[in-house]
Amino acid sequence: MADNDVEVRIGVPEDVDGMMELAFAACEENALTNHNPVKLLGEIWAGLTRDGGVVGIIGESGNKFEAAILLRIESLWYSDEPSLIERAIFVHPDHRSAKAGRARILCEFAKKVSDSINKPLVIGVLSSERTAAKVKLYERQFGPPSGAYWIYNGNTGTNKIAAE
């Protein structure tokens, strides 16, 4: 796929294997704790079947996906009103240096979904690696941040470090 042809498509149930493969790669690289494949499948399946969420995918069915975003519609812990919550955004390492900027394209997709359902989008960076660059991308896409995360007694990507 040429960089100027990069598009985000809505995931469908047939994309479950490719999404799980991408999710495992994301967890291996950036998870704070060990992942649970059953929980991952439940979240991804809900997005692929449009049951309270949606998955945006860059890549063709049957091929390895280049990047994806998992969005869920749910209430925040203190409210009954639904918001659009980003669960994960991940660009496969093989596609991070591409000119089209897949992370940016996925952020634009998230904004379009938010606009189309008229719900606020909650999206953020939870990463111990290249955090400043990711924050700059999000500031360009979404404006100034509305908070920050700190991790005490841990780092994201610990699974990757342990595997090496």
Question: What does the pLDDT average to over 14-29?
Answer: 94
Residue (of 31, 35, 36, 47) closest to 19 by Cα position? 47
Which band of pLDDT confidence, cut at 50, 70 and 90, is reported for residue 75? very high
**Can you give the residue ranges of every domain in the chain?**
3-163
Which band of pLDDT confidence, cut at 50, 70 and 90, is reported for residue 164? very low
Count CA within 13 A, CB hemisphere, residue 112. Answer: 13
CA 88/CA 86 separation, integer angstroms: 6
| Encoded amino acid at 57, one letter | I
Query: Per residue in 147-157, pLDDT tens?
Result: 887 778 877 88
- Model-level pTM? 0.88
pLDDT at position 3 is: 52
Mean pLDDT, the chain, rounded, equals 88
pLDDT at position 131 is: 76
- CATH level 2 (architecture), domain 3-163: 3-Layer(aba) Sandwich (3.40)
